[in-house]
Structure 1
Amino acid sequence: MFSVLPNLEILDLSHNNLIGKIPNCLPMSLSVLNLQANCFDGNIAFGFPEGCGLRNLNLHGNQMDGLLPRSLVNCRMLEVLDVGNNNISDAFPHWLESLPDLQVLVLRSNKFHGSVQSTKESPSFPKLRVLDLSSNYFVGALPVQYIENFNAMMDPHKDGGSPEYMMVWTRTRYYQYSLVVTWKGFEYELQGILIVFSSIHLSNNMFEGEIPDVIGKLSSLKGLNLSHNNLTGHIPPSLGNLTNLEWLDLSSNKLAGKIPNELVSLTQLSVLNLSNNHFVGSIPQGNQFNTFGNGSYEGNVGLCGIPLSKSCDGIGTPPSSFQEKDKLWRFDWRVVVLGYGCGVVFGLLMGYLVFRIGKPKWFVSLFDGRPSQSGRKMRKARRLVQRRR
């Protein structure tokens, strides 16, 4: 197929309904192979020869299985590798750490397994800016050896000026990279990857142990998702140094202790999820923390303070003045209704008596001003007494 296209540099067949196997021979001239969102299946059988010029390999959203081909190490210029949402079953490809220009590594939603640890002492993944290992079967501690070498994430890029995107230039045109990401809980396809964009997604695995302090050095990080693992210990105060962070999700772990006040300095943070852990004490206040609701903290019975209804003095959050006025208003109306009800009952009773036995003379004299017979007799007796005197 490709033998008649010896100079092909970009092949983008993404978002179609193509099926079957991927041809195992690719032209050496190829810089971009984008087969995202198709129905290709089987092993990634094609080999990558020495001198491979591939910069972007995107197989996201197919039905590929088997192992990740080791011959990828021959693609020394590879910048983006995305094999997310397939059925690949393999150990973590630590051999990719020798690729000097790799910036985006997406292995999410496969069957990768085992620990994620470096096998060499030299710096690994120095240019990596996007790492997505979510929804696999990784175990063990978080990859500290890799994290401390993520030099590209330690560069505090500024967002000012014209946006710059990852792309490849060919002899006739440029090609802008795309990427499927989970961002702030939603899945998006970025039609361009900003060079300032950096994120780490390790959620939905079986990582354990503590969150390493060294993550606090990744100053350009915009998203950090460590949710749904078995992490223990405290939140390191060093996370307060991630001043570009917009999304932090540590939910559904076994983290404990207090939420460090240093996190208040994360003024770019728009999404925070610390739910379903074992945090205790008062929730920090100020800056972005004044905007987060109950959902950010639910499932932590030891937490107290705003926005939760549980106050930190154990008495409960005092009602607002509006609530107090509302209670008084409801009380006043209850008194009015009670008096009105009693009056109605009394009136009905008197009407019944009048109907049954006629108008009582004392009642008539009381309301129509005419004296009753007993009243006349009493006045007549008084006049007789006065005459005798």
Structure 2
Amino acid sequence: MTEQSPFRLLYLLTEPFGTGGVQSDMKSLGPHFVKNGHEVFIACPTGDQLELLQKGGVVHIPFDVHFKTPGQFQECKKRLRDLIQTIRPTVLAPQSIRSSWLCHAAAKDLPIPRITTIHNIHTPFNSLWAGFLLNKCSDAVVFESEHEHHRLTKLGLDPKKTTVIPSGIDTTTFYPIERSQALWKSIPGLSEHSVIFGCVARLSPEKAHSDLLKAFFEVRKEIPESRLILVGDGPLKDSLIHQTKSLGLEPFVHFAGQQSAIREYVSLFDVFVLASTRESLPRAAREAMACGKPIIATRVGATREVVHHGKSGLLVPPGNPAKLAKAMISLGSDPKTREDMTSLSLELIRKRFSLDIWLSENEALYKKASSGNLAGSLP
């Protein structure tokens, strides 16, 4: 097999194929590889985004990697082994520590390279043993952020096995557009004087929408014409709506729910706000930057690699609604600074988060692995 030969890639995902950063990556990478003549299989639980994946020629295989007992682990290992022997991939690409462990158990005696991608490790305890496990289970480890890369190499992961390839943003999908007038008119209470803060994120605990609502309560005192638009759905929706009513913010907060026309919603925002208590390399913030929006985000995970404080946006401590409110008031009342940050955001997306570079570097790595040239190929 030569380096230019097509590869047969088997991705293994932990979560269902719905909305999420990992799934968004797969929707870009998988069809791109198929278009370039490779075969791509994704094994994971089913989800509501599968149709978009399959339209790109990617084959989905229902597979659940969750296990709690040794017996369940052995059963899961056997099913994966059978799947590998049926598909005969030239590269295995687990997308989490759990799936990497399972791939190793199922295929450690097979001559198939295993390349693990680490998107994020939210639990500090998991980080303590992740380096040891990845040393044993993976031939190479791809990180999307310098933050996670530094954390795990410091905890024992062999740097020679690692590389950092930040996921790219599709600037043919996310780019600055004029405000969607139809959407603007469909949201009650907006006027030409409104200052719009917005967030696109799942309504779940780690996104800390409750802190955002508390901050917005204070923002309203200083910027009465401010409004907040929340795009997304999730388990905290009812409690967040209740909190909105309790704070007297119901006329000024719009819950848009899950949406596909993200760019159109972002076109309404003056400032994108992310109040998360944990993040990896936040895709929603980078998509908003590609749309020309300044960002306010919490200083967690790899957000510092996305938001350059004072240049493309502002960073604040997590879990601190008062400081979040101060940052929102600062940018909300300063159109000139917002305009300056827009150009810097677009430049950062072009230089650091190029879709073409991300796709080509991933493809080159899988080609090398598939043709037996992985050793010594990582920077």
Q: TM-score normalised by the shorter chain: which range applies?
A: under 0.3
With normalisation by structure 2, the TM-score equals 0.21
Relative to its length, the structure with more strand (as a share) is 1
Higher CA-based Rg: 1
